[in-house]
């Protein structure tokens, strides 16, 4: 078990989360959902990725969009972003430091993504600000952690639970979970309500299967679980799903 990385807390002790690595199934499956969505991708449209981290997701669809601005509250991952951009000759993506909760972006976008970010906001009702960043017929895609996945993937602020994966912690009633967890967590119902109350109409909601990237070694256990249990990227079984993936349009 790895422990929660102390460097991922800001000066107010607020947990920012760790961007997923480029070569993980977590990113690849998300990209497969996006790439299959011809309605979302368009070479004439401009996109913003809120909480882009290292840019792993936006770079994966950059060739399908006119341009993508990646914004993040800090520049912790900007160097990785710039290196990847240079090494792969990507010229339509840029990185800016921007806090979605406390700043207003000076223009609107046709498409918006924000993956595994909303659960880190001080107030998740600030997704309203994301809807305000979209043009009138704009479309957004989000993902947030699923409450019914068997691990709390952001860890808990409790001395005896220093790990970033705590089994069944997210299943606790919401007031207890919110008191101790490092980030929020969502049922499909709660996430739907949040978006609908804050300027979005849901077009699609899916459960993304846990990709089991956490099992680093390609051993018998990993081969078994990925072949028989966590085999496809989408599931109907909430206990097997790590994230809720949503496509929504501006209301």
Ligand X SMILES: C[S@@+](CC[C@H](N)C(=O)[O-])C[C@H]1O[C@@H](n2cnc3c(N)ncnc32)[C@H](O)[C@@H]1O
The binding site for ligand X (CB under 6 A) comprises: 16-20, 50-53, 56-57, 71-74, 99-101, 115-117, 120-121
Beta carbon of residue 31, minimum distance to ligand X (angstroms, whole number)? 11
Let me know the angle formed at the C-alpha of 150 by 248 and 243, rounded to the nearest 5 degrees.
Answer: 15
Nearer to ligand X, 97 or 229 (CB): 97
d(CA 251, CA 238): 28
Instruction: Please name the helix (run of DSSP H) or strand (run of DSSP E) that holds residue 4, with its range, or none.
Output: none
Nearer to ligand X, 19 or 184 (CB): 19
**Helix, strand or coil, per DSSP, at residue 228:** helix
For the chain, how big is the Rg over CA atoms in Å? 17
Beta carbon of residue 51, minimum distance to ligand X (angstroms, whole number)? 3
Nearer to ligand X, 11 or 227 (CB): 11
Nearer to ligand X, 16 or 185 (CB): 16
Beta carbon of residue 11, minimum distance to ligand X (angstroms, whole number)? 13
Bridge partner list, 205: 246
Nearer to ligand X, 16 or 45 (CB): 16
d(CA 148, CA 162): 21
Place of tokens 């990237």: 213
Give the pair of three-digit tokens for residue 181: 């967890």
- In the DSSP assignment, the letter for residue 170 is G
Beta carbon of residue 117, minimum distance to ligand X (angstroms, whole number)? 4
Give the pair of three-digit tokens for residue 43: 């070479």
Beta carbon of residue 221, minimum distance to ligand X (angstroms, whole number)? 25
């Amino acid at each position: 078990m790895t422990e929660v990385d102390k460097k991922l807390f800001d000066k107010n002790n607020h947990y920012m989360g760790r961007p997923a690595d480029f070569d993980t199934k977590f990113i690849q499956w998300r990209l497969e959902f996006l790439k299959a969505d011809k309605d979302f991708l368009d070479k004439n449209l401009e996109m913003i990725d809120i909480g882009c981290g290292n840019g792993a997701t936006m770079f994966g669809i950059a060739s399908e969009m006119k341009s993508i601005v990646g914004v993040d509250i800090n520049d912790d991952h900007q160097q990785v972003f710039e290196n990847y951009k240079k090494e792969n000759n990507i010229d339509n993506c840029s990185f800016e430091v921007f806090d979605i909760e406390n700043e207003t972006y000076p223009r609107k976008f046709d498409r918006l993504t924000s993956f595994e970010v909303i659960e880190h906001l001080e107030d998740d009702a600030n997704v309203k600000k994301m809807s305000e960043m979209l043009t009138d017929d704009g479309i957004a895609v989000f993902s947030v952690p699923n409450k019914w996945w068997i691990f709390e993937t952001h860890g808990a602020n409790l001395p005896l639970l220093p790990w970033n994966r705590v089994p069944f912690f997210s299943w606790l009633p919401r007031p207890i979970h919110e008191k101790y967890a490092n980030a929020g967590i969502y049922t499909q119902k709660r996430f739907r309500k949040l978006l609908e109350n804050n300027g979005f109409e849901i077009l699609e909601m899916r459960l993304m299967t846990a990709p089991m990237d956490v099992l680093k070694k390609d051993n018998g256990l990993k081969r078994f679980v990925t072949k028989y249990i966590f085999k496809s990227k989408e599931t109907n079984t909430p206990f097997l799903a790590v994230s809720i993936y949503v496509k929504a349009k501006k209301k």
